Amino acid sequence: MVSPVGISMLGSGNVGGGVVAALNAASNRYERSVGRPLQLRQVLVRDLARQRDGLTASQLTTSFDDLISDEGTQIVVELMGGEEPAYEYIARALASGRDVVTANKEVMAKHGAKLLALAAEHEVRLLYEASVGGGIPIISPLSRDLLANEVSALTAIINGTTNFMLTAMADGGVDYKDVLAEAQRLGYAEPDPTADVEGFDASYKLAILCGLAFGLELFPEEIERQGISLLASQDFIYAAELGYTIKLLARARLDDGHLIASVCPTLIYHDEPLAKVDGVLNAVEIEGNLVGHVLFEGPGAGPTPTASAVLADVLALARDIVADRRPLAVTPLIPAQVLPSASHKSRFYIRLTVPDQAGVLAQIAGALGERGVSIASVLQFEADDLDDAAELVLTTYLAERGAVNDALKQIEEAQFVQRIGNLMPIAGLGGAR
Amino acid sequence: MVSPVGISMLGSGNVGGGVVAALNAASNRYERSVGRPLQLRQVLVRDLARQRDGLTASQLTTSFDDLISDEGTQIVVELMGGEEPAYEYIARALASGRDVVTANKEVMAKHGAKLLALAAEHEVRLLYEASVGGGIPIISPLSRDLLANEVSALTAIINGTTNFMLTAMADGGVDYKDVLAEAQRLGYAEPDPTADVEGFDASYKLAILCGLAFGLELFPEEIERQGISLLASQDFIYAAELGYTIKLLARARLDDGHLIASVCPTLIYHDEPLAKVDGVLNAVEIEGNLVGHVLFEGPGAGPTPTASAVLADVLALARDIVADRRPLAVTPLIPAQVLPSASHKSRFYIRLTVPDQAGVLAQIAGALGERGVSIASVLQFEADDLDDAAELVLTTYLAERGAVNDALKQIEEAQFVQRIGNLMPIAGLGGAR
């Protein structure tokens, strides 16, 4: 008689439901590839009374202590989300000798290095493919398939909610508030959309990717972060006029030993592969010294794509358990030397509302020029909703963000402009720094 | 003292040079990630006299017997290409208890199942990430990251030479012969281009992918294969007129237990992700029941991208050797039930040179209609180089290839047409079958 590989699960929301459905539907196939059946033993839930597809009442528990004392559980799958109590439960599962699979980007971004060290200490494994990019294989390719490379840069669209919104704004000339309401209606955005639209979610994921790509420990709060809520429909029109699309890009690169990491709405040339990643899709582009550029694209969220990644990790662990394979050594992360955002060099897009009078552009150019910021192009548009005013869109040559910020502050204080509408980096063409 | 992990290499061409250069340049980093240094012990070459960068004379040998009797060699890297003697050497290396890494698509396509069984028998591993898609991680994602999925279809551009040629033909209105000469001048095409332009190379790679994606053993000769040499510059103009791009697509899908596999120049809607994969890039799109669609894109050939994939496998094996991890069980492949190409259902593009006279279209439509092939659209073009003749481009609704072939044969025999210029499937929109 073959004893099964025992799995218990923390949380039973949408992704959990996807995992349960797949475990039930494909049990024979999974048994063939693992060599033993997989058995779902216990599921930690909040409400015992709620009916859950594919689970019997005896599999449900509200007590983590009960779940973790189950001797038959070899793999713990954490799908609760949020920092606590998920972090505590993952740590306790690892310390109790269980392998753990998690989809939790927040826990991995904030506590990943500690948890991976804890796993190594207890000779167990912590896998987290589902924490970035939903169903797209990205953690494992970075850990294994690109390991021979020195990674120099990564550029990613890793938040489906904002990419859906930006795609709709680029297509339709709709404004931010309307598209947010639409995303909420479709279930792509939360009632409180802050984590997505302000870039927190993407910064968690970027921190995780930096650990894998560069071997560097980067905390989410060290990442320059700019949300999409300042974007207006005209930004998309002006960007298109200049040949660009606007995407919330998560970017990281090494420059002379410093890590430059940012999550910002960014102008990207319309012909770049990432410019064409639309809707809720995610994509990650990696630049390595051997491979050049590789791109991974697919569904970045959703119950079944996320279940695909969770179960890939579960199957990998189960295969290792059956073959009695020990965990590989984990190379500890080195703290990142993070370049402050004021020193980030980029080309920039600046939208200003200016009085419709002579001399304004000269004053603005002067303020920028004093700080070494050269203007690359100027577009002036009539503003429908403003009298005696116009919208001015400037792009700069390569400049430091701090210098641009200082110049804009001076421009604002000197009242050369009525309003500073938006400031965004432009990717590529010498602007990647 | 830490003993190194010993590696020997068969062949020292462009890819071999890339591997040697990377092993030398990144030796410290590789040692950190493996836990022991990697040592390049012997390299099998044809000509001992030729100077090779990064290798000393004492590392070179012309004798496989000498190389395989080196006790310090734990991993054998096969980079010779071609079927023999590569197949024999891989088999002997596995039988002697060495792990093997190969970039050899021909050997893996024709003998992969046997070699993987041989590796399992000797409790060693055979890895072959570099055999498909150059530096793009695809073998390992299919083996591990998408394992929870039932894969239903894969669509790929996996020959960089032909993709370079087709991109140039689509861009420039140049003809097949000129673009082939250009590809040969740039080193993208061999002096004898048959393996690339007739689709053999892509069919080897598709056979390998089918083993991983579907668990099915498919031999290259079972794949419907059509080369690109019949393509004329006007096909690209007509395809664009209809909204399509022409790509050499390698496709496979399961339909009711039958495997449908083909390598054909194919019309693909211009807005599809694969339609935008240009030049020497490769891309593989996988459709799984959980993940939906995922796309992997990157450089499909070249010394350093291929070295990236070879060294990923080498590092994975070396890490396993250091951790004393045993090989995972390999699920044996099941022979594929291949649907004959005459039964492949697709929409089709047909280009005919017809006499410029009344009634011709009716006769052609009649011959097709008798066999259940319905015409979806008709375009007629003036042919510059023909008197009293025109070019007719037909697209069909979903039809069996056999029926279309039979109708074209009848049309040709009845001399309704002067010449059948080209016949290609149209991907998607009900045409994937």
- Is a pLDDT exceeding 50 seen at residue B7? yes
Q: Are B54 and B20 in contact (CB under 8 A)?
A: yes
Mutate to test the interface with A, among B27, B101, B145, B313 (most CBs of A within 10 A): B145
How many other CB atoms sit within 10 Å of the CB of residue A331?
13
B292·A311 Cβ contact <8 A: no
Tokens of A92: 């306790």
Question: What would the pLDDT profile of A68-121 be if each residue is shown by its tens digit?
Answer: 999 999 999 999 999 999 999 999 999 999 999 999 999 999 999 999 999 999
Cβ distance B298 to A308 less than 8 Å, yes or no, reads no
pLDDT in tens, B331-346: 889 999 999 999 999 9
User: Taking 70 as the threshold, does the pLDDT of residue B429 lie above it?
Assistant: no
Whether residues A325 and B329 touch (CB distance < 8 A) is answered with: no
Q: What average pLDDT does range B144-155 have in this prediction?
A: 96
Which superfamily, per CATH, for B5-134+303-333?
Answer: NAD(P)-binding Rossmann-like Domain (3.40.50.720)
Contact criterion met (CB < 8 Å) for A29 and B150? yes
Chain-centroid distance of CA B25 in Å reads: 30
Partner-chain contact A296 B296, CB within 8 Å: yes
Spell out which residues of chain B touch residue A304, defining contact as CB-CB under 8 Å: 289-292
> A146–B315: do the CB atoms touch at under 8 Å?
no
Name the band, by pLDDT with cuts 50, 70 and 90, for residue A384.
Answer: low
Mean pLDDT of the residues in chain A: 93
Show residues of chain A in contact with B26, CB under 8 Å: 148, 150
Answer yes or no: are the C-beta atoms of B247 and B155 closer than 8 Å. no
ipTM of the complex: 0.93
The torsion defined by the Cα of A277, A281, A282 and A286, in degrees rounded to 10, comes to -40
Query: Which residues in chain B are closer than 8 Å to A297, comparing Cβ atoms?
Result: 273, 294-297
End-to-end CA gap in chain A: 60
* Residues of chain B neighbouring A141 (CB-CB closer than 8 A): 137, 140-141, 145
Report the C-alpha gap between A425 and A346 in whole angstroms.
Answer: 6
Backbone torsion region of residue B139, taken as left when φ is above 0, otherwise alpha when ψ lies between -120 and 50, otherwise beta: alpha
Evaluate whether B122 touches B99 at the Cβ level (below 8 Å). no
Topology of domain A5-132+303-335 in CATH is Rossmann fold (3.40.50)
B289 → chain A, closest CA residue: A304
Q: What is the mean pLDDT of residues A334-342?
A: 94
A-B C-beta contacts closer than 8 Å? 182
Q: Place A430 in a pLDDT band, splitting at 50, 70 and 90.
A: very low
Contact A304 B292 (CB under 8 A): yes
What pLDDT is recorded for position B15?
A: 94
Whole-number Å distance between alpha carbons of B114 and B412: 44
Q: How far is B428 from chain A (nearest CA, A)?
A: 18
Distances in Å between the alpha carbon of A40 and those of A127, A205, A295, A311? 18, 28, 35, 12
Nearest-CB residue to B295 (from A297, A324, A329):
A297
Report the alpha-carbon distance of residue A209 to residue B86 in Å, rounded.
38
Encoded tokens for A58: 């005896």
Quick one: pLDDT band at residue A431, thresholds 50, 70, 90?
Answer: very low
- pLDDT surpassing 80 at residue A379: yes
A320, closest residue in chain B (CA to CA) = B328
| Fold agreement between B5-134+303-333 and B342-426 | no
Residues of A in contact with B305 (CB under 8 A): 290-292
Nearest-Å Rg of the Cα atoms of chain B is 24
Nearest 5°: CA angle at A90, between A88 and A92? 70
The pLDDT tens digits of the residues spanning A42-64 come to: 999 999 988 899 999 999 999 99
* Helices B160-172/B176-185 angle, 10° precision: 130
In terms of phi and psi (left: phi > 0; alpha: psi -120 to 50; beta: otherwise), the region of B226 is beta
Sign of CA dihedral A113, A119, A121, A123: negative
CA dihedral sign of residues A55, A60, A66, A68 = positive
Percent of chain A scoring above 90 in pLDDT: 85
- Any idea which residues of B carry the catalytic annotation? 205
A320 neighbourhood in chain B, CB within 8 Å: 328
Check A308 against B148: CB less than 8 A apart: yes
Q: Does B291 contact A298 at a Cβ distance shorter than 8 Å?
A: yes
Q: What is the mean pLDDT of the segment spanning B191-209?
A: 97
* Option in B26, B314, B315 nearest A150 (CB): B26
Over residues B285-314, the mean pLDDT reads 96
Please give, rounded to a whole number of angstroms, the shortest distance from the CA of B399 to a CA of chain A: 31
Residue A226 CA to residue B37 CA, distance in Å, equals 43
Taken in order A57, A59, A63, A65, the sign of the CA dihedral is positive
Q: What average pLDDT does the segment B346-372 reach?
A: 91
Q: What pLDDT shows up at residue B384? A: 64
pLDDT tens for A194-229 read: 999 999 999 999 999 999 999 999 999 999 999 999
What is the set of active-site residues of A?
Answer: 205
- Dump pLDDT digits (tens) for B27-38: 999 999 999 999
Which CATH number applies to A139-299: 3.40.50.450, 3.40.80.10, 3.30.360.10, 3.30.413.10? 3.30.360.10
pLDDT of B258-279, one tens digit each?
Answer: 999 999 999 999 989 999 999 9
Average pLDDT, integer, range B324-332? 85
What is the reported pLDDT for A433? 33
Average pLDDT of every residue of chain B:
93
State how far residue A19 is from chain B, nearest Cα, in angstroms: 10
Residue B231 CB contacts under 8 Å (≥ 6 apart), including other chains:
B166, B169, B176, B246, B265, B422
Architecture of domain B342-426: 2-Layer Sandwich (3.30)
Question: Contact B293/A316, CB-based, under 8 Å?
Answer: no
Do A290 and B329 count as a contact with CB atoms less than 8 A apart?
no
Q: Where residue B430 falls among pLDDT bands split at 50, 70, 90? A: very low
Q: Rounded mean pLDDT of B178-206?
A: 95
In which band, very low, low, confident or very high, does the pLDDT at A24 lie, cut at 50, 70 and 90? very high
Confidence of residue B432 (pLDDT cuts 50, 70, 90): very low
| CA gyration radius, chain A | 24
- In which residue are the tokens 């010993």 written? B6
Angstroms from A59 CA to nearest CA on chain B: 22
Which pLDDT belongs to residue B116? 95
* Nearest residue on chain A to B30, alpha-carbon basis: A148
* Contacts of residue A310, Cβ cutoff 8 Å, sequence gap at least 6: A15, A19, A77, A79, A101, A103, A129, A130
Q: What CATH number belongs to A341-426?
A: 3.30.70.260
Q: Report d(CA B311, CA B74) in Å as an integer.
A: 14
Average pLDDT estimate for A171-181: 91
Chain A residues touching B325 at Cβ < 8 A:
323, 325-326, 328
Burial of A82 (0-12, 13-18, 19+ CB in 10 A): exposed
pLDDT, residue B1, reads 60
- Beta-bridged to residue B154, according to DSSP, are B252, B286
Angle at A251 between CA A249 and CA A256, to 5 degrees: 155
What span, in angstroms and rounded, lies between the C-alpha atoms of A206 and A97? Answer: 29
Q: What percent of chain A has pLDDT over 70?
A: 97
Break chain B into its structural domains and give their ranges: 5-134+303-333, 139-299, 342-426
Say yes or no to pLDDT of B356 above 60.
Answer: yes
User: Of A289, A298, A316, which has the smallest distance from its Cβ to B292's Cβ?
Assistant: A298
Which residues of chain A have a CB within 8 Å of the CB of B290? 18, 22, 135, 304-305, 307-308, 311
CA A321, CA A73: separation in Å to the nearest integer? Answer: 12
